[in-house]
Chains A and B, each alone.
Chain A
């Protein structure tokens, strides 16, 4: 025990100084805690600019894609049309700089465009005529290796087709739009293995009728009358007129320009609705001929019914929709066709 070797006395910690230090630490924490909890929601309150820009970009993309000929569906439809046989061969240019179906991209005959209608069955017979590994898929996305539409793949990027192998697969478009048949191995699509499938409306192909302009026409004295009911499926996922997706849903209404049309609407569903005829189903404000009953601001209550009478104007394809925002997209969108 050599504590005597100290020349100076040892002074030891006092409780007073310890208390002072503790008071400082705890005081700082209490003040910080008060600031923090008093503003609890503020600290995580706004998106960064980059996030706002990204949201705007997404909105624009969505608007652009929905304004096109139609939105490609990500699932297969049902077979109602004709069968189209397509045979494709994966090939590469000798220096592997260009890939393609049937011929390297840029050469004649490569990536043939396929035209079909909704409900047609496109049967692809695919062989790997190249020297590297490939995989076949049909996708609705405009770039990248997927995602593939269910049941349209032959091989995958993980277990691809070896040279000489092949397979058969069929694709039935469920909705109009542009689809692509591609090689699903990442990178190959960008090198040229990318062909278009242009799908038209199919069926009675009302999409071939030019869109109506909304001009007026003098009454010719004919009277037409139709009845429509707003219906909503029990889980509120599907909306429609006179049905929610089954047969008889959204019946086409065909009239002649100048006819005096009366539409009787009823709302047997549990949701508020409003009726209108528009040129653009995505824009409830594009009403024509004052052909509307009630508005989104003061809609039809469940159980209400009423009617609207108007004179059909210039010929073309119009849409009768529910003008409550979002309902048209959920299915309340039928064709109102005006003939000469």
Chain B
């Protein structure tokens, strides 16, 4: 899957390359590997919750906590960010018509920090939950796992700042002089937005991690209530970084849909300007809503209202994207090949997840749904429904260009049906489970609540469907990248027309990729 169409090169040459497509392939391989490792953890959790009772599959609650912690960390930092960076690495220099990223060595360094961070997270297997709220993470989370978590996230944070700097410089300073910034394709715009957001948001959490480390060592007491610190301060620092981070995960996926939808609708994009405007809007508004994660921490009413309005302000901008997609598809001769299926499925689930988000942001309702499975359902509907669908669609879209071979449309359809049905069944059900009061992150639930048992079982079956879909995905990626039919590199889906970007990437190692 990592491979591209050029003279077969040794794997080592790709691994030590600084060329943007090679680094992109490394990111993609890394991200997809961890998608499956995190997915296995998710299925273990869901299978464990199939029956009420302790020790159904996992023997003790501490192990359960460790598994869901690493599942969250893996999916966010080792799958979503690397895949977005990988696709960005491959496409952005081509989209701005430059020979490579602005700083190729920095690019490779930024990638190679990822395996180190991943090793720290996976070898430690911490039990802090991915948010690692103080005071547990400061005074009780056992080491060395929690310390390795701090260093792992630190390294991943530095890596994402470095790659963000690279994207910003590439797009703003290295784009072709004939290409005005407003005409830069929307996927590159999404990478520019999230890179700027990362540069603004990430240092806050980097500071919070250092504070947490010194707190754990007993040298300071920023978040340690027994040393006069304030755990709520950690929440503010955390969510100041990680609410924008939600958009950092989301926007590349929207950008990928902007790549896929016009092509398979056989129509030009409805409005470039509104897409650019909506990206920039979301990039700014993303910083105005971190407090909505903390309504129940005793903020005063005025502050809560400010954050509520800040959260709702993201709705018009998200709606602009959805209407842009719909207007592009309207009247087009749509070809529902796999990438388009995933993009359209992603739009539908984005809309559902967004509707749930509007409910969440309403303060009175948030007090009901806070800390319940509603939140789990809502967040996963975003993460799988929009981000996962966008990424998977984009991987199918780039598959022929990267491998020179075609995936099998029937298996891809099976994957889509299983994944779409499974996502709806798993995560819509979890919303209901949350309204019935099941708290999130629980190891066991009472057998007396029969409706919880039934809803958990529906949810677990849905998760197995998603899992089956991804087994098909993995098998397809491996089999068809080696044995698939050779693809027609100008028009792999037979939808007519030349590829959107006139300039293909020249790889200094010789040969020529589809990009």
Give residues in A with beta carbon < 8 Å to B.
Answer: 1-3, 5-6, 8, 10-18, 20-22, 24-25, 29, 32, 35-36, 42-54, 57
Contact = CB atoms under 8 A, between A and B. Distances in A.
A46 B147 CA distance: 11
Interface stretch (B73-81, B242-250, B348-356, B478-486): B478-486
B366 interface: no
A50 B139 contact: yes
B486 A12 contact: yes
A40 to B, nearest CB: 9
B1 interface: yes
Contacts, number: 134
Given A22-B478, A44-B142, 13 more contacts: A2-B498, A3-B490, A17-B8, A17-B11, A18-B3, A29-B37, A43-B123, A44-B125, A45-B144, A48-B138, A48-B218, A53-B227, A54-B226
A43 B483 contact: no
Contacts of A6: 489, 512
Interface of B: 1-9, 11, 29, 33, 37, 62, 66, 119, 122-127, 138-148, 215-218, 221, 224, 226-227, 403-405, 478, 481-483, 486, 488-491, 498, 511-512
A1 B218 contact: no
17 contacts: A2-B491, A8-B511, A12-B486, A13-B403, A15-B482, A16-B8, A18-B482, A24-B11, A36-B122, A43-B145, A44-B142, A45-B143, A48-B140, A48-B143, A48-B147, A49-B218, A50-B226
B122 to A, nearest CB: 6
Contact of A20 (B11, B226, B483): B11
Given A2-B491, A11-B5, A44-B127, A50 B122 contact: no
Nearest to A46: B143
Contact of A13 (B142, B405, B489, B490): B405
Contacts of A32: 119, 122-123
A48 B216 contact: yes
Given A10-B5, A46-B142, A3 B489 contact: yes
A45 B29 contact: no
B33 A53 contact: no
B8 A11 contact: yes
A46 B6 CA distance: 52
Contacts of B6: 11
A18 B475 CA distance: 13
A5 B491 CA distance: 12
A44 B145 contact: yes
> Which one of B9, B141, B142, B483 has the highest number of Cβ atoms from chain A below 10 Å of its Cβ?
B142
Given A18-B3, A48-B141, A57 B226 contact: yes
